[in-house]
Amino acid sequence: MLFLFPPIVALSMFAPPLPAAALVDSVQAARDEVTVKPPINSDLVRARAAKLRADRAAAKASGVDLETATPEQKQAATEWLDGLNAAAIEGIDLPTLDAETFSNAQSLFSLVGGAAQEAYLVELSVRAQQPTADGFGAAVVKAALEWGNVEGKSDVGLSLLSHPAFAEGMNGPVASDVYFLLKSVDAENVAPFVAQLAGLASNYGADARKETFPSSIAWLELMQRLVSKADAEAARVRLVDAAKARLSQETEERMQKTLARMVARLDGAAMRGELVGATAPSLDFLWLARSDDSTPDWKQLADLKGKVVVLDFWAPWCGPCVGSFPEVKAMRAKYAPSDVEIIGVTSVQGNVLHQKRARVDCKGDVEKEKAELLTFMKDMEMTWTVGLSGKDVFNPDFNVKGSPFVAIIDADGKVANVGLHPSAHDAIEAIVDKLIAKKQAASKS
């Protein structure tokens, strides 16, 4: 994962003022508690971070109004928090921490902020220079922090390619983060390192390390930007074979599901380069519904040829999906149903996380889930069609990696665009308007 430091907590999170004696006792109690928990390890730093968050949350819940607080109250609150912060990091000597504990300490030191956070960043920079896999991991975190402070494209990921432990470090869990950082770099700037990156193919065979193999898709996406179509396709086929081989040997259920999704995605239309500009992948529906109880006269995506289709991949548990409903509703109101069909595509989830009533468990009962989905649609005033797909909502053919995710299909049934967020309504409507005009022009010719 990528780690970004949050801002220093504002005074509004401080606790109400305490009498001087109580203040001393409170801070001493916190220090006594942490000093009886040696040694310093990952579990301890995580526990301290959790306690500091809890203390601050409790303080915020009962905090004073700083606009009306007296200077003495503000001073007491500041001293109280300073005491908790000091207790949280007491006894932690950053240079002596092992790599795992140091990584987990990042959250704690970012919470404390100030000089403690600066000390962490200094130690991070020192560790990032070490010619080891741990040093490479520190360099990745450092680059991620720098990337988070830059708007637009950034070349910070390029520095990782010349790290002395690049090859060793890329055969581990940080590989995905490196590929993410390199996505922000223009292809021509990465081009000099193509051979080096292509050589990482050896990390993704059937016998690859379990913590490394999941980054194979990100590696392939990078290769598709940098090498010929034929070379990229050959790499994809090798990864499909490797993923299938691993799946056939895997015994752990969770990893089996992960590998099955990887196989589906690697072998999907998007990864084959057969998505944008090509005929849309097939999409059948187990159930179609509208909140006004009307029933669509079509059963699958292919039936909608002649209309522009907006697919909004979503799920009831997805907060950003629900948050984008106003944009989708406005789009439904703007376009005539004869020109544009909007489909909220989801899949069987085993439950419906209602927004206006209690969550309902539907595991093993698809009919119950359909009924609950219709209730959800009416509660949320969803004016567009909702379709329950037989495929996962993270549809591999459309390269859906997260939700919400919008794909736009033209009137000829070809994919015009994928990957937009519903909140990008201006961009979506510009594409839809262009496709409608194209359709109308074709009908007149």
Q: Angle at CA 283, nearest 5°, toward 384 and 232?
A: 125
The SS3 assignment for 267 reads coil
pLDDT band at 129 (very low <50, low <70, confident <90, very high): very high
Q: Give pLDDT, residue 401.
A: 87
Cα–Cα distance measured from residue 238 to residue 232, given in angstroms and rounded to the nearest whole number: 10
pLDDT in tens, 285-318: 999 999 999 989 899 999 999 999 999 999 999 9
User: 3-state DSSP: the chain helix, strand, coil percent, rounded to 5?
Assistant: 55, 10, 35
Nearest CA to 314 out of 394, 220, 415 is that of: 394
Are the C-beta atoms of 342 and 325 separated by less than 8 Å? Answer: no
pLDDT in tens, 71-101: 887 787 778 888 889 999 999 999 999 999 9
Q: Which residues contact 98 (CB under 8 A, 6 or more apart)?
A: none
Cα–Cα distance measured from residue 98 to residue 330, given in angstroms and rounded to the nearest whole number: 53
Q: Give pLDDT, residue 10.
A: 33
Of the ranges 7-21, 81-95, 240-254, 366-380, the best mean pLDDT one = 366-380
Place of tokens 């992960």: 258
CB atoms within 10 A of CB 70: 10
For the CA atoms of 238, 243, 248, 250, the dihedral, rounded to the nearest 10 degrees, stands at 140
pLDDT in tens, 182-218: 988 888 999 999 999 999 999 999 888 888 888 999 9
The SS3 assignment for 338 reads coil
Q: Which residues contact 30 (CB under 8 A, 6 or more apart)?
A: 83, 84, 87, 88
Give the pair of three-digit tokens for residue 149: 């402070």
Is pTM, for the whole model, over 0.75? no
Give the pair of three-digit tokens for residue 349: 């989830």
Cα–Cα distance measured from residue 298 to residue 304, given in angstroms and rounded to the nearest whole number: 7
